[in-house]
Structure 1
Amino acid sequence: MRKLIFIFLILSLAMTALADRERVFTVGVRAFNGVQESYRSWSPTLLYLEQNQNKYSFYLMPVFGFEQMRKLLETGQIDFVITQPAEAVILHEKYGSRIILTLLREYSGRTVSYFSSAMFTRAERDDIKDFDDMKGKTLAAIDPEGFGAYWMILKELRDAGLKEGKDFNMVFTGTQDKVVESVLEGRADAGTVRSGILEKMAKNGHIDLKNIKVINSVTDGLPLLHSTKLYPEWAFSAGKDVSEETVNEVQNILTNIPQDAQVLKESGYAGWILPVSYISVYDIMKDLKKGLYEEQPMLGFSDWPFYMKILVPILIIWVIILGYVGFSIYRK
């Protein structure tokens, strides 16, 4: 009930602000953990943008899949996008959006602009100690398009010589909480979530980390349980029709949030910086043949009726043309 009241207050404040602004910008946010979590995490950021300038209002729109995000951006129904790095890169390359900011998070007093993926199993599973041990097992992940909660681990498994669907099975749960539940309840042998999720669930009392074992645990600059190399954090992108003046204003406001600002406490992140390099995101998509480098399926028998509707008229026209040319030559 408190969450619903909070969302209602946020929307009421936003609607009140619309009347005094010269333009409303819609911000599409990837809602991996549902509508309520999207509003809780990102509404404070949009309110902060409104409070620190008097020209624009910002309306939050939770988006549930890449295709929906693509269509909204392509048709101009959203102006800005906050999403995971692979999706941000694809939208940039295919639909002209620009990555203008990279998210910062703080863990154990350390501010970072990158994250990883944790692959885990139940603590008593002595048969799963490394990626190689996943042969013949079932892995739970959030979504086939998940970056930190699927693709990162998929790359490690493929590098270990394992192929999804052949050497191990996949099950997709829709949320990262459900990934963890499916492993702890024995419906999957192992699971993968973005770094920080296990610690967050433990802090909230949903799980006990003593019941979890992280596979291929990595020790580097990220003070969280994780199993892969590091990749750049979520991106804030602007659509191709957003002016440079507006982009600069958004960048200036969000990169200068004071460390003690309420927006950071409410949203649970540490700030924003100008965009870091996303080249490693291109690399993983190329290695996996996902996203920008996804292989197109071969033409199937079921596709022929569609293509015949196109090819038959073209062939008829060519026959008419060739017949006319042949007849003209014959007459001469």
Structure 2
Amino acid sequence: MSFAPTFPFAGRLIRTLAICLTVLTACSNAWSLEASTVRIGVLAYLGDEAAEMEWGPMAAHLRATLPDHTIEILTLDHAGMRELARRGEIDFLITNPGHYVELEAELGASRILTLESGIGPSPAASVGSAVVVRAGRDELRTLADLRGLRVAVVSPEAFGGFQLIWRELHALGLDPRRDFRELRSVGFPMDRVLEAVANGSVDAGFVRACLLESRPEYADRLQVLAPRPDPDLGCAVSSRLYPDWPIATLRHTPPALARAVAVALLSTPETSAAPHWAVPADYQSVHEMFRELQIGPYAYLRAPTLMSLAERYWPALAVLVTMLIAWVLYTVRVEHLVHVRTSELREALAARDAIETRMRANQEQAEHMGRLSVLGELSGTLAHELNQPLAAIGNYAQSLVRRADADRLTEAATREAATEIVQQAERAAGILAGIRTFARKRVGERTPRRPGEVVAETVALFRGMLAQAPEVEVHDRLPPSLAIELDALQIQQVILNLLKNGYDASQDLPPERRRLDVTLHTDDDGVGISVRDHGPGLDPAVGARLFEPFLTTKPDGLGLGLSICKRIAEAHGGRLRATPAADGPGMIFTLILPHHE
């Protein structure tokens, strides 16, 4: 069923804005909408054929506006629409206001537009009901005269076909289920109600407003009972007016698709045969009706309490037994929930432990890779450094051979050469042992160590790996007996990183600016180990992001060294900071480690 729509100025303005909005949002929505089948469920209160004729032009308009989507119109009854919506097999639904309010509370339906059918003064007041009786029943003048009569309705769930008139009868103190001789449900299509009244099988029927006027074959045989005066409606109505039908989304409907469909419907041309739509109306009047009748979302208002039932129907002993049973069931339920919750917590703790184990393994792997990265950067000159002791060993060995060939080999010469060979071999072995210790992968272990010893070992490793190592001055201002809990290898990794960064920053500068200073001192938060270079310093923009992963100022750097150093410091409960030198060029990197007495 369709009606010739009217277009007030506000409606024309909305559609004009909607057309503009369609152009502006087409590009932004195109990328977020994938081609899909859009299923729209429609309440077929006049039957499937009439529904397809009424909503077919709308489907054609949507197909033209949204060419990437397949538009399907599904004609349904109340139960069918509720079931498909519950299973998520429709994306939108178009139904009467009462059915929509029920689905809104039950399934989370949400209106996006309201039908502008042209009936009534506005979409907010377009739907009403009419009570039809046979022409000539002059004894029937008001709705109160329906008491004791036979009445036909579509179903108790029908909004315009029952519930609207029920509200008017409720205001008069009448209950259709109690005060009618018969309340007959004839089902869809609604024309069956008109047929039942016309053939005399019932005395009256409830139908949607304007249905009788759209059926000229009943014009002489039927009339509307107790019509309300409403010159703007254009047809007789026996009830108050309510908002028109909405089109609504469901919980699973993609928001981008909802926007696209809403914009497409609002941009329906005025000359189109498709139904026209307006912005969503206020359905509070429908909620008020349901609340008065205590149906739909408000059915709980008429449910009797346990106490009232006990007072009316059960003796005191039965009440006591019921309460005892309820308490036992509640206790069992609580125990079950506690057991379930305990199992969930146990599983959550196990999952957390597994995540922490993986995080520790990943952190150890990152630290190991960081150490290998430092070694890779420093070991370019390692061969030259090892070549010196090896060359000295070779020279002394050849000297022994030549002396033996010349019969000039003495015990003193042999002892001197052997001593030098041992010393040079120990030097080479020390270099390799330090690198092997630093590079090996192992589980972190914290032991009490003196920070000065750790720094001295790191400086020796650093200088031993460079052919032309810079001068490194260590200033230990800590008490000689001070020891703190730390992972020596991780702290060596941090200090070696800072020494290497200082060396890289100043290696192209004059010799007097290549010096590195390491200072051990007490800090407000613990023990501080500061590495100061005399390089050009850092740009403030770089300094603000210095410890972010993958940020580097070196052409071949990965940008992970300082990030790993920061994590190591934080894992020890400390921190790593960088500040420009106050007494000249360069940067000062300070590792703060907590010291607990």
Whether TM exceeds 0.5 here: the answer is yes
Q: Which residue among 59, 62, 70 is the counterpart of 2:75?
A: 62
- 2:226 pairs with 1:216: yes
Specify the code of the residue in structure 2 equivalent to 1:30. Answer: L
Q: Deviations over 1:35-58 (max 9, x none)?
A: 222222212211210101233221
Q: How is 1:1-332 mapped onto 2 (pairs within 5 angstroms)?
A: 22-66=35-79, 68-106=80-118, 112-113=123-124, 114-168=126-180, 169-174=182-187, 175-202=189-216, 206-207=217-218, 209-220=219-230, 221-261=232-272, 263-264=273-274, 269=275, 271-295=276-300, 318=332
Q: State the partner residue of 1:324.
A: none
Question: Could you tell me the percent identity over the aligned residues?
Answer: 28
Q: Which amino acid aligns with 1:58?
A: I
Higher helix share: 2
Q: Report the CA distance shift for 1:317/1:276 in structure 2 as closer, same or farther (over 3 A).
A: closer
The TM-score normalised by the length of structure 2 is: 0.44
Structure with greater contact order relative to length (CA < 8 Å, sep ≥ 6): 1
CA deviation map 1:23-80 (0-9, x unaligned):
11111111222222222221221121010123322111122223x3222112211111
Counterpart-to-counterpart distance in 2, 1:106 and 1:274:
14
1:329 corresponding residue in structure 2: none
CA distance in 2, matches of 1:65, 1:37: 16
CA contact under 8 A between 1:251 and 1:274: conserved in structure 2?
no
Compared with structure 1, are the counterparts of its residues 316 and 166 closer, same or farther at alpha carbon in structure 2 (3 Å cutoff)?
closer
- Letter paired with 1:253: A
Is the contact made by 1:183 and 1:189 (CA closer than 8 Å) also made in structure 2?
A: yes
Structure 2 segments unaligned to the other structure (5+ residues): 1-33, 307-324, 336-597
Is 1:118–1:195's contact at 8 Å kept on the other side of the alignment?
A: yes
SS of the residue aligned with 2:177? coil
Q: CA deviation at 1:316?
A: 12
Runs of 4+ in 1 over 3 A off after TM superposition: 110-113, 295-299, 314-318
CA distance in 2, matches of 1:74, 1:212: 39
Instruction: Give the unaligned 5+ runs of structure 1.
Output: 1-20, 300-310, 322-332
What secondary structure does 1:139 align onto?
Answer: strand
Name the amino acid aligned to 1:214. V
Q: What displacement does 1:315 show?
A: 5.3
C-alpha RMSD over aligned residues: 2.6
Please give the secondary structure, in 1, of the residue aligned with 2:93. Answer: strand
Shift of 1:317: 8.6
Contact 1:30 1:62 in 2 (8 A): yes
Q: Secondary structure of 1:223's partner?
A: coil
Structure-1 separation of matches of 2:251 and 2:135? 48
Judged with a 3 Å threshold, the aligned counterparts in structure 2 of structure 1 residues 288 and 107 are, in CA distance, closer, same or farther, namely closer
- CA–CA separation in structure 2 for the residues paired with 1:111 and 1:259: 17
Structure 1: which amino acid aligns with 2:134? Answer: R
- Number of paired residues? 278
* Distance in structure 2 (CA, Å) of the matches to 1:141 and 1:198: 14
Structure 1 residue 86: deviation in Å? 1.1
Question: Does the 8 Å CA contact 2:39/2:74 hold for their aligned counterparts?
Answer: yes
Task: Encode CA deviations 1:127-166: one digit per residue, 9 max, x unaligned.
Answer: 2110111111111111110001110011111111111232
Measured against aligned partners, the alpha-carbon deviations of 1:199-252 in whole angstroms (never above 9, x if no partner) come to: 1111xxx22x23322112112231111111100111101122222222121111
Tell me, yes or no, if the aligned pair for 2:242 and 2:286 is still in contact at 8 Å. yes
| Structure in which a larger fraction of residues adopt strand | 1
Q: With structure 1 as the length reference, what TM-score do the two structures score?
A: 0.77
Asked if the contact 1:27/1:80 (under 8 Å) is kept, the reply is yes
Q: Flag the 1:107–1:64 CA change in 2: closer, same or farther, 3 A.
A: closer
Q: Which has the larger radius of gyration?
A: 2
Asked whether the equivalents of residues 121 and 191 of structure 1 are also in contact (C-alpha less than 8 Å), the reply is: yes
Contact 1:115–1:222, Cα closer than 8 Å, also in 2: no
Q: Is the 8 A contact 2:61 2:268 kept in 1?
A: no
Alignment partners' CA distance in 2, 1:101 and 1:74: 21
Provide Cα deviations, 1:159-212, integer angstroms capped at 9, x if missing partner.
Answer: 11111232113111113211111111111111111011001111xxx22x2332
Residues 148-157 or 28-37, more deviating? 28-37
- Deviation at residue 273 of structure 1 after TM alignment: 0.6
- Equivalent position SS for 1:78: coil
Q: Matched residues in 2 for 1:279 and 1:52: separation?
A: 32
